[in-house]
Every structure is written in structure tokens, then in C-alpha cells.
Amino acid sequence: MNKQSVQDAKPNKGAKSKKAKGNQTKATKNVLIVGVGGQGVIMISKVLALLCQTQGYQVKQSEVHGMAKRGGGVFSHVRFGEEVWSPTIPMGEADILIALEWAEGLRWLPFLKPDTGIFIADTQQIVPPFACLNRKVGAQTAYATETPKEILSKVADGYALDAGGFAEELGNARAANTILLGALSASLDFENEDWLKIIAKFVPKGSKEINERAFKKGSDWIKKVRANPEEMLLDAPQPVIPVMPEGDVEISLDIIEEWCKSCDICVRLCPERCLEFNELQIVRLKDADACTGCRLCEWLCPDFAITVNRTPVSDNKESA
């Protein structure tokens, strides 16, 4: 069942003196953040809402996280300004749309202001189970096929980036949402040090430094592509439609036990029911013969704990 919550925050006491940042103080700003469960949509919206509040704005935030623990869609509306009445952003009224997952971003595009809206999307793909109905080897998924180039030509101001890839380069794949916060910061009139103070409240102790670097990476990246738009598509690879390999494949699973949080997603959603928990509630493959290598468990695991290897048998013979 979907869960919706609405928060109405008044400016922090004494915060009025900190504001007065151009037009941002006058009109209500609408920021829509979308993605799937486990990606950090709520973290981004809470950081933004608290930052706006500490800067003296009235803030309204509403969020829906239905299948959040099952790889389902999650979205959050953040509205801030001198006086904000409604917690939700009407269709076509979002000033900024931040997408943590590519297809979710496309789904919410009608909410963006057609003439001035800013679209910032991670090109990461999390393929939902319904897009994988045909699970046979060689089958294609029904995932969105639009490329960044096609989409960015249709929005007023668009940016597609491989935030997950950037985060991995920095050494922590989970810092992708902070990279997106950095990218968002370039479109809002707040000081970087204020962003970083708030971000530090929402990230695990010990990851402050990497999140600071992630924030800078996102902020620097968007400034760079604004100055040289032709560089953007180099940084934003086209989404690849995941395709099952044809012919005989040898399938194996790598499971990083330390990263498994026992959330049960992969166990419940494996179409072949070939996963189970061990005595420590860590996932393991119980029936290797039944596994088709569909990669659903890999795509859905919010903690990146599973990698599915699908090696064509011919490759194995060559290397033998």
C-alpha cells in the first residue's frame, strides 16, 4: 500500500536574516524528486526541505513511497517560498525535476514547466519486474528506450548524468544521491557550505568526506556542461536495453554477504523462486539449476549485493 506523508515547515527561528537571495525569495519554487525505493529520494527531499527552512523559507514537503522496499516508485514534492499553500506540485508546474532513475524521470516529465523547467536525471536504470515478463534467454525487457539525446532535446533545460558511475569512481556507489544534490545546487541560490552542513546531518558518520566530494563532483559537472553542452552526452551514456544473451550461457551469482540487509526483495521477487535466506538471514542461491540469469535480483537489490554473471559457454571453452 502506498504511504503518503505531508510536512509543513515554518522558517527556523532567526533564519530570516540569512535569506534574501534574489528571485528565490519571491515566487514559490517547486522541486520534484523521483526514483525507486532504496535510492535516496526521501534523503534528497529532506536535505532540500531542511536547507530551505534554515534559510528562512516556508516549506511544504509531501512524499509517496509505496513499494519503497520492493523497488517501486517513490516521489517527493518540495515547495518553498515566502508563503506556500499547497503541498503538491500541479502538472506542468515543477521548476526542477530530479530523477534518480532514468525511466522514472521520463514518467514524470509532464510535471515539468514546459518553457523553463530544469530536468536533472541519473541515467541509472532499475528495470521493474513488470518490464521483465519474458524472462527467457534472448528476450528483451520492456524498459523505456528513449535516449538522453532524444529527451534533452524536448525539455527547456536538461541534464543527464551517470551519477552512479561518478559515485563509484569516488569509491562509494551510495553517494550518487549526493552527486545529484550537487547538480541541483547549481540551480538554486544557496551557499555550498550551507548545503554541506545539512547533508552531513543525513549521511552516515564516517562518510562526510566522501559526500563532500560527491557534492562537489555534481556541482562541478553541471557547471562544466553548462559551459560546454557538447560534453554532456559524453558523460551520459545512452541507456542500454538489458538483453539476455543468446545461446548457451553459464550463470553464476556473486553475493556480497556484508552488503545484504535481509530486506527480502530478491527472495520474494525472484521469478524462479531460487533464492533463500541462510541461517544468518543472508541471501543465497538455493537452486542454481532453476536460475535463468534474468538479473532481476541484481537490478532490484537496493544494496548492490548481487551480481549475476552470464558467460556464453563458448567463452568458457576458449579460455579452458
Nearer to ligand SF4 among residue 41 and residue 121 (C-beta): 41
* Smallest separation, CB 303 to ligand SF4 (Å): 4
Size of the chain in residues: 320
Nearer to ligand SF4 among residue 31 and residue 301 (C-beta): 301
Nearer to ligand SF4 among residue 242 and residue 271 (C-beta): 271
Residue found under cell 532513475? 101
Q: Exposed/middle/buried for 283, CB within 10 Å: 0-12, 13-18, 19+?
A: buried
- CA–CA separation, 314 and 294 (whole Å): 19
* Smallest separation, CB 317 to ligand SF4 (Å): 23
Nearer to ligand SF4 among residue 19 and residue 261 (C-beta): 261
* Smallest separation, CB 274 to ligand SF4 (Å): 5
Nearer to ligand SF4 among residue 199 and residue 301 (C-beta): 301
User: What are the CA-CA distances from residue 4 to residues 52, 65, 67, 115, 153 (Å)?
Assistant: 21, 7, 12, 30, 33
* Smallest separation, CB 283 to ligand SF4 (Å): 4
* Smallest separation, CB 291 to ligand SF4 (Å): 3
* Smallest separation, CB 282 to ligand SF4 (Å): 7
Rg (the chain; Cα; Å): 21
Enumerate binding residues for ligand SF4 (CB under 6 A): 260-267, 270-272, 274-275, 283, 291-297, 301, 303, 305-306, 308
* Smallest separation, CB 249 to ligand SF4 (Å): 11
Nearer to ligand SF4 among residue 86 and residue 278 (C-beta): 278
Nearer to ligand SF4 among residue 72 and residue 271 (C-beta): 271
Backbone torsions φ then ψ of 118, nearest 5 degrees: -105, 125
